[in-house]
């Protein structure tokens, strides 16, 4: 289904990935947009019983992209850490 990860040391276990989804609130959804161009949109989501629900209108670019190709990607950032230069 998916290509094997090249940097396997960076892969996290499924239970950690699920915890990130359960504790997160926002994500970036990527879909195939008009004419095959990528389209991303930040959104609020909820992970409940193995399903991701997200807030949004019932029409628009995001929904059209999902209808045209249900293969999408959701990126959730669990924490940001900015390291200032020394």
Q: What is the pLDDT of residues 57-86, one digit of tens each?
A: 889 999 999 999 999 999 998 877 777 876
Find, among 74, 7, 71, 1, the residue nearest to 36 by Cα. 71
Q: What angle do CA 78, 20, 10 make, to 5 degrees?
A: 75
pTM (2 d.p.): 0.77
Q: Report the pLDDT value the prediction gives residue 86, as an integer from 0 to 100.
A: 62
In whole angstroms, give the CA distance from residue 70 to residue 39.
Answer: 13
The answer to whether 27 and 45 are in contact (CB under 8 A) is yes
DSSP three-state, residue 47: strand
């Amino acid at each position: 289904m998916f290509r094997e990860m090249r940097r396997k040391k960076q892969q996290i276990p499924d239970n950690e990935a699920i915890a990130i989804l359960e504790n997160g609130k926002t994500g970036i959804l990527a879909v195939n947009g008009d004419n095959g161009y990528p389209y991303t949109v930040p959104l609020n989501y909820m992970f409940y019983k193995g399903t991701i629900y997200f807030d949004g209108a019932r029409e628009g670019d995001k929904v059209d992209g999902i209808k045209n190709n249900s293969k999408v990607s959701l990126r959730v950032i669990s924490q940001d850490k900015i390291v200032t230069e020394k």
